[in-house]
Structure 1
Amino acid sequence: MPTLAELVSDGCGLPFAAAAEALREAVGAHGAAVVEAPPGTGKTTLAPPIISGLVEGRVVVTQPRRVAARAAARRLAALTGTPVGELVGYTVRGDRVLGADAKVEMLTPGVLLRRLLRDPGLDGTGAVILDEVHERGLDTDLLVGLLVEVRELRPDLVVIAMSATADTETLAGLLGDTAPAPVVGVPGVLHPLTARYCPGPLPLDARGVSREFLAHVATVARAAFDERPGDGDVLVFLPGAREVRVVADLLRGSVPAEVLELHGQIPAREQDRAISGRRPGEPPRIVVSTNLAESSLTVAGVRVVVDAGLSREPRRDSARGMSGLVTVRCARSSADQRAGRAARQGPGVVWRCYDEETYAGLRPQVTPESQTTDLTGALLTLAAWGSPRGATMRLPSPLPAASVAEDEAVLRSLGAVDTTGRITEDGRRLASIPASPRWARALVDGAALVGSRTAAETVAAVESGVSGDLGREIIALRRGGTPEARRWKAEADRLARLIDAAPGTGALPGAVVVLAFPERVARKVGGTYLLASGTRAAAPPELAGHVWLAVAEVTRAGGVSAAGTGAVIRSAAPIDEPTARLAGQLLVEETRGELVDGRLRARRVVALGAIELSSTPVPARELGAHAVRDVVAAHGLGVIGWSQSADALRRRMALLHRSIGGRWPDVGDDALLTRLDDWLAPELRAAADTGALAGIDLTTPLRRLLPWPEAGRLDELAPERLQVPSGSRIRLEYPPHDADGPVVVAVKLQECFGLATSPRLVDGRVEVVFHLLSPAGRPLAITGDLASFWSGPYAQVRSEMRGRYPRHPWPEDPWTAPATARTKRRG
């Protein structure tokens, strides 16, 4: 039974043993270091014992996932021959196995963040090791910033950042004091790796990863198994637990192998089975995994990797109030790490379920979670730490300003922070609850409404990722009997203990969801659901039969938009209208206008955000001019229409704006709509009385925009008509208001005899292009240079036309012939 010190001296045959002395020296001299070593080299196994021998107190090691924290603790305990918890233990949300004398504790970043808020000095802790920092999880990024500040008060606290593919320069600069922290590492021991590309159907459809693509992955996995080198096992990478289950089911029975699943939703015993090496005499294995096996866990015995090339990452859609995990192409760094798992123990093969061009086009690195996810929890943590918005904190990446402003507004609406971003007393209570701020608020407020037990059960179910009909799922979880149900019950028990006991009214879980996300109250409209936020979303069959839903999670649909909405409801609870009205802050009563056949109709509306609850017709005059203006602003000036004279004036004004600018106004759609009160106010007031919008002549209103005294030159600079040599005044055709183009005059050729120079408008800036017409009004020539036309092409036109139109003059000399609009006889 080796001790931790003996384990390090032995090295367990792991490559990282070669870096042990360098790590000791770095910590002894600087108290901090960056460890860079590829997956499988043993840094997670050996670094904690190395550091434990250098510090007083416990070594805590963060792992990005619960399954990784438990697995790392079990592996290190097994190597020392001790039960988990005695020498090495773990703490994850809802599960803790840790003795008072344990030297090493594996935990998740979220657990350590909450511990720091309770105990900023980390009493009893001698060192913190942040593992897998290259994954750029939000909690890990925050821990880097917080621990840098803790070390200012506790110089004895050792901080290590460990990564497979880190930006070591940035990390070293953050962790260093007067100089960057040392970088310690070992190279990966990679055997030859062969890459094979097997593209298939498009991976995504309206429901996410398509069944056709998953079938393709299973087919590639079978081929990879049949052609694997030696007697190695196969590791298949897929983006999520659902995809893992589907592909594993397709493989079972179709290959002479044991097919194992590896993801966070299976029991610990099954996780251990998938990770541990194959015993002598056991059949070969195909392990179908999420990205757990990419860097957090090492799966023993793998010689072949099948990579679907997908990952599940957080994304936010601020415009539609959606955030959550979406399936995207993985980063090239992730693809390379996955492939490397095949070449740790000998020559390996990676089978990529996409083509080489796709691989070359992958983004180089993983996108930091802080740049794409909801930041309300992070901002509450920073406020509780005393560093609102993290403005002065040394973080690996600055938090995006737009997301900070948006999510801090959410925290203010929850009463968690004040206008300066500093935490309130309510905020401190919410920060102490192991749930996101919205769900923490719903837990506290919902206890009095539905009872502390129901509130806790609902929040535990949502936070654990339950999908579909929340009411049914909670009933199923109450029956127990599964590992998921036991974990859910433990979490619900823990949450219930954090709030005051309250009997409640026995309302359904949907009430708690409404309290968390009032803007996600949804009512069925046709075949989809309209959310109070204005978003439309499709719902799965188990929810689609209900009129009202309280939506816990709505995400952008992968691939083709769901039912044409672009969004799909992942989890929700059926509710009734009285429960929907718990979102009282969204309830409005107002008069709204709408257009029906060009006329305004007024309605008195009671609405819950975008959802109308009732509508009563009222006289149009109740709208008022402001409501009419809102209708025009929303629908555009097309609802009024442009008369011929108004359009002509607009074209002339647009030419002056383009050619001169200055005080000549922009008359584009957007510019006019933003200045409605400046030029259309009298007509809007009249429309409020009559309800009539269509048919308003916009000519006079447009003239209100003309600048004074420049307006007096309008007809000089951009005249309506042009006088030609015959004496006729021909209307000029100006280009559309939103397009460049020539000013055109279409005139019969005979009316322009003797005209040598094309007139120019706008003080000579714009030339007039002549469309010279036949007596029948058909075009004969287009020119801006009349002198050249008379001297050249006219002769050919004359020879062709004088026989066809003998009653009209076609003189040999157009320069001296009198211009006329008449025939010869009439002349």
Structure 2
Amino acid sequence: MNLAALDLPVRSAVPALRRALESRGAAVLEAPPGTGKTTLVPLALAGLLDGTPSRRVLVAEPRRLAVRAAARRMAWMLGEPVGERVGFTVRGERRVGPDTVVEVVTTGVLLQRLQRDQELAGVDLVMLDECHERHLDADTALAFLLDVRAALRPELQLVCASATSDTAAWSRLLGGGGGDADGGADGGADGGADGPAPVVEAHGIQHPVEVIWSPPPRPVRPPQGLRTDPALLEHVAATVLRALREREGDVLCFLPGVSEIGRVAGLLGGLRDTADVLQLHGRADRSVQDAALAPGSRRRVVLSTSVAESSLTVPGVRTVVDCGLTREPRTDHARGLAGLVTVRSSLATGRQRAGRAGREAPGAVYRCWAEAEDALARALPTPEIMQADLTSFALQASCWGAPGARGLALPDAPPAGAMAAAHTTLTALGAVDAEGRATGRGVRIARTGLHPRLGRALLDGAPLVGERPAAELVALLSEEPPRALGDDLAAVRRAVRKGNDPYAARWRDEVRRLRRHPDADEAPAGVGDAEAAGLIAGLAFPERIARRRSPGSRPGALQKPEPGAASAYLMASGTAAATGAGSALSGAEWIAVAVADRPAGSPSARVQLAAATDEATARMCAAPLLTDREEVRWAVPPGSRRGEVAARRVEALGAVELATEPLAAPDRALLRAALLEGLAVEGVEELLTWSAEATSLRQRMAFLHRVLGDPWPAVDGGSLRERAEDWLEPELSRARRRADLERVPTATALARLLPWASGEAGRLDELAPERITVPTGSRIRVDYSADQPVLAVKLQELFGWQTAPRLAGGRVPLTIHLLSPAGRPAAVTADLASFWRDGYRAVRADLRGRYPRHPWPEDPTTAEPTRRANPRR
């Protein structure tokens, strides 16, 4: 046993942690990075350090790299190889023996084990490490373990280990949702039986870390999707060189992904003679991982993704260079696209990264951004459950007996929209029933350890293409192959089969895991590589099966491909997609898209990995999406502004049209909907014929609605469109085309909106008369087209009329346009008595000379009204 290695800061907290577990059976361990919580605590709780009776401890880590490193470190501390008292299990690899009492597993392996054996027989304690990272598998495993403790094994002990002080939520969860968490080792360990679980603190020796702000010398573009501005990466490489000049020890540089690590490594190629440049990430070869996690013989620059933020110790590091970016999952549930995006790191992530420089001695962190930018950064990373594809999670919950995750004690409830999308996908796969309960097929899919889509492709595809081809293709889809291999899945498979790089090695391990019958035939006769690739990709992602289309065309229309040119496609989901220029897939009529992303601001998805296929395969893989429907809609032909009803029968695969033919006798309800769509698109003014009678009635109704309100209805264009079904029956039910709507008697139809039920409709002529009888007996039409109703009448016909009638029950005066004998306006008044008294004289003086044959009495109030001129003498 390496006694020196056991003298770690967390050791002082072990007694309090044991008391907490004996008292409550569950506890939160808060321990900063470098204190030994990942390695020493499991050994101590298993009884391997002090001769106490040994107990079986299961340690769950979020990453495979951390699993292997933790197991190797613990075995070294005991002075023995991995596989004896300390072992590990990751997907496709297991190293344990009959004497193993501490087993390190990924959270994914833990979930699979819980689904097979809910009691975790033989396990005494489970430690969930790095809970603060909020990985979805870890959150799910915690919820399942709390169920096990509550219903099956109350004696099963549970520890949530976190590197941050944000432990109150974990304490409440472990305590069954009680009040605030207790702080401090002693207070937590002696807590009562109710309320939050105890929080045990371990105080590490954190050396001071100097913060050096090192923003780029010129502005850089923010990340978009997976793209990072090359100017930022050049600045990061320059900052690494600066750190090597200014500081002692090794340099740990954080970058968002593998491609950025490769780019910066290339920029640091000149360091070969002075320092080792190591690339640390989950896909790295194990020899590289081992070299990064062991002391080096000379200075090292370790370029790492987030795997080195907390659970791994990189010895010798005195300086951290932080680019300030990280990768997070994002899911477009509407389009069925999921993937990773590059985002600004949270403040908590920045602190975690900086802390790596102070684990062994005073250090420094070079932050490649301006200090002011921290004001806009998030405080904590976003939990994965809030932004990831939840299909696997939903199936896990259903297999556990908690459809929809109902009743699970989760730190955050899953978003309803994401869960609805997951339920839709699982239902289509036959993995859950209508209530969300797992079917037998769903259980088999879950036990593959794959995403449900890939599990379905493996189970259904093996009998069709052969077990080995199915396993090989599914393994390619479970860990996306390097982009340099191209976008043709069949060609990528051939290349990886010949490869000897780390990716190919991991791929072969996964193929062996997925093959249930290693001696099974390669493939049924007549199934080639391309056909197998299209079928497996189509089974996994049926809604991404796509047909070539021409830009701007209706769905399904074909284009003539040009060699090497990008091709536009329409997926069955309705999402547009395009291959890149020079793609091996360009020109294929059908493709099954396995990997695609949607760049910010782009109208279509970008195909990253797909397989050419054919219509027969598409029909088979996406059979539930096949429809044969009558489609009746309002369509505007190209080059025209006048729409018309278009009726056809459409056979389609989701949004992709397979065949169409005109529909002679469309369904009456569909016709009705199409005509209503036409009214909404073109408007009642354009589509209906408005006679003078209809226009007058509409204006009178609009006047009463404006003045009196209810029960007089609004008759503007928008209101008439909304109530089309109320006033256009029965004509709407009989109409079949545009011409039928144009023949609708709009005056008769509009009268249906009058308030007949209340009896007010009978007062229309009283409140807004169409015509007014003047003193001569003439019936003059009232003009309601303006804000105020207008009566235009020749002045001589109003002699003797002192007061014009008021409309709308006396609320609105009638505006009178007094016309000359020639019919031209001579005066405007709403008060006749005032006009006769004050205005008439001026009008008489002005017009009497021009119209001498017409009467111009001095007193119009007593004169006889007339329509005629004076007789000639």
Q: Answer whether TM exceeds 0.5 for this pair.
A: yes
Report the AA paired with residue 575 of structure 1: T
Of 657, 662, 676 in structure 2, the residue corresponding to residue 617 of structure 1 is 662
Displacement of 1:431 after TM fit?
2.2
Structure 1 equivalent of residue 230 of structure 2: 214
Taking a change above 3 Å as real, the CA distance of residues 349 and 603 of structure 1, as seen in their structure-2 partners, is same
- Counterpart check, 1:269 vs 2:287: yes
Q: For 1:406-445, what aligned pairs fall within 5 Å after superposition? A: 406-445=421-460
Structure 2 equivalent of residue 812 of structure 1: none
- Counterpart check, 1:21 vs 2:21: no
Of 389, 392, 396 in structure 2, the residue corresponding to residue 377 of structure 1 is 392
Displacement of 1:111 after TM fit?
0.4
Structure 2 equivalent of residue 161 of structure 1: 160
- Counterpart check, 1:482 vs 2:501: yes
Deviations 1:647-698 (A, max 9, x none): 997788789889988776687989877766554454444442x564774658
Deviations 1:586-640 (A, max 9, x none): 2222333352342233333221111111223344xx2233232343455662246
Taking a change above 3 Å as real, the CA distance of residues 288 and 601 of structure 1, as seen in their structure-2 partners, is same
- Counterpart check, 1:576 vs 2:624: no
Structure 2 equivalent of residue 811 of structure 1: none
Taking a change above 3 Å as real, the CA distance of residues 584 and 346 of structure 1, as seen in their structure-2 partners, is same
Displacement of 1:377 after TM fit?
1.9
Q: For 1:664-679, what aligned pairs fall within 5 Å after superposition? A: 677-679=725-727
Displacement of 1:435 after TM fit?
1.0
Computing the radius of gyration over CA atoms, which structure comes out larger, 1 or 2?
Answer: 2
Structure 2 equivalent of residue 637 of structure 1: 680
Structure 1 equivalent of residue 559 of structure 2: none
Taking a change above 3 Å as real, the CA distance of residues 786 and 367 of structure 1, as seen in their structure-2 partners, is farther
Displacement of 1:532 after TM fit?
0.8
The answer as to whether partners of 2:732 and 2:741 remain within 8 angstroms in 1 is no
- Counterpart check, 1:78 vs 2:76: yes
Taking a change above 3 Å as real, the CA distance of residues 471 and 660 of structure 1, as seen in their structure-2 partners, is farther
Structure 2 equivalent of residue 297 of structure 1: 312
- Counterpart check, 1:497 vs 2:516: yes
The answer as to whether partners of 2:468 and 2:518 remain within 8 angstroms in 1 is no
The answer as to whether partners of 2:56 and 2:102 remain within 8 angstroms in 1 is yes
Give the whole-Å Cα distance in 2 for the aligned partners of 1:61 and 1:664: 74
Q: For 1:387-402, what aligned pairs fall within 5 Å after superposition? A: 387-402=402-417
Structure 2 equivalent of residue 554 of structure 1: 596
Structure 2 equivalent of residue 97 of structure 1: 95
Displacement of 1:337 after TM fit?
2.3
**Could you tell me the TM-score, scaled by structure 2's length?**
0.77
The alignment partner of 1:204 has SS state of coil
Give the whole-Å Cα distance in 1 for the aligned partners of 2:105 and 2:120: 14
Taking a change above 3 Å as real, the CA distance of residues 807 and 147 of structure 1, as seen in their structure-2 partners, is farther
Structure 1 equivalent of residue 179 of structure 2: none
The answer as to whether partners of 2:426 and 2:432 remain within 8 angstroms in 1 is yes
Displacement of 1:757 after TM fit?
13
Report the AA paired with residue 450 of structure 2: A
- Counterpart check, 1:535 vs 2:575: yes
Report the AA paired with residue 542 of structure 2: P
Taking a change above 3 Å as real, the CA distance of residues 748 and 682 of structure 1, as seen in their structure-2 partners, is closer
Taking a change above 3 Å as real, the CA distance of residues 237 and 227 of structure 1, as seen in their structure-2 partners, is closer
Q: For 1:642-653, what aligned pairs fall within 5 Å after superposition? A: none
More RCO (CA 8 Å, sep 6+) = 1
Give the whole-Å Cα distance in 1 for the aligned partners of 2:663 and 2:473: 43
Instruction: Name the % identity.
Output: 39
Give the whole-Å Cα distance in 2 for the aligned partners of 1:724 and 1:29: 99
Displacement of 1:521 after TM fit?
0.9
Structure 2 equivalent of residue 510 of structure 1: 534
Deviations 1:708-765 (A, max 9, x none): 324616847995979899997564458xxxxxxxx4669999999x99999886996x
Give the whole-Å Cα distance in 1 for the aligned partners of 2:98 and 2:460: 36
Displacement of 1:397 after TM fit?
1.8
Report the AA paired with residue 422 of structure 1: R
The answer as to whether partners of 1:720 and 1:731 remain within 8 angstroms in 2 is no
Report the AA paired with residue 304 of structure 1: V
Q: For 1:230-241, what aligned pairs fall within 5 Å after superposition? A: 230-241=247-258
Quote the RMSD (CA, aligned, Å). Answer: 4.7
Give the whole-Å Cα distance in 2 for the aligned partners of 1:524 and 1:204: 31
The answer as to whether partners of 2:220 and 2:231 remain within 8 angstroms in 1 is no
Deviations 1:479-510 (A, max 9, x none): 13122112212212221217995754524221
The answer as to whether partners of 2:544 and 2:573 remain within 8 angstroms in 1 is yes
Deviations 1:765-784 (A, max 9, x none): xx899999999x9x9xx9xx
Report which stretch shifted further, 52-61 or 126-135: 52-61
**Could you tell me the TM-score, scaled by structure 1's length?**
0.81
Report the AA paired with residue 78 of structure 1: W
Structure 1 equivalent of residue 492 of structure 2: 473
Deviations 1:330-362 (A, max 9, x none): 333223323333444324233234662x43222
The alignment partner of 1:415 has SS state of coil
Displacement of 1:243 after TM fit?
2.6
Structure 2 equivalent of residue 738 of structure 1: none
Q: Which runs of 5+ in 1 are unaligned?
A: 735-742, 809-815
The alignment partner of 1:202 has SS state of coil
Deviations 1:250-292 (A, max 9, x none): 343389654332221111211232344443x43x52x332222
Structure 2 equivalent of residue 57 of structure 1: 55
Taking a change above 3 Å as real, the CA distance of residues 771 and 313 of structure 1, as seen in their structure-2 partners, is farther
Taking a change above 3 Å as real, the CA distance of residues 514 and 654 of structure 1, as seen in their structure-2 partners, is farther
- Counterpart check, 1:309 vs 2:350: no
Taking a change above 3 Å as real, the CA distance of residues 343 and 701 of structure 1, as seen in their structure-2 partners, is farther
Structure 2 equivalent of residue 591 of structure 1: 630
- Counterpart check, 1:709 vs 2:757: yes
Of 94, 113, 116 in structure 1, the residue corresponding to residue 114 of structure 2 is 116
- Counterpart check, 1:602 vs 2:644: no
The alignment partner of 1:546 has SS state of coil
Structure 1 equivalent of residue 555 of structure 2: none
Taking a change above 3 Å as real, the CA distance of residues 653 and 28 of structure 1, as seen in their structure-2 partners, is farther
Number of aligned residue pairs: give it: 778
The answer as to whether partners of 2:54 and 2:101 remain within 8 angstroms in 1 is no
Report the AA paired with residue 630 of structure 2: T
Q: For 1:723-742, what aligned pairs fall within 5 Å after superposition? A: 731-733=783-785
- Counterpart check, 1:47 vs 2:93: no
Report which stretch shifted further, 445-454 or 34-43: 34-43
- Counterpart check, 1:131 vs 2:129: yes
Structure 1 equivalent of residue 671 of structure 2: 628
The answer as to whether partners of 1:598 and 1:693 remain within 8 angstroms in 2 is no
The alignment partner of 2:532 has SS state of coil
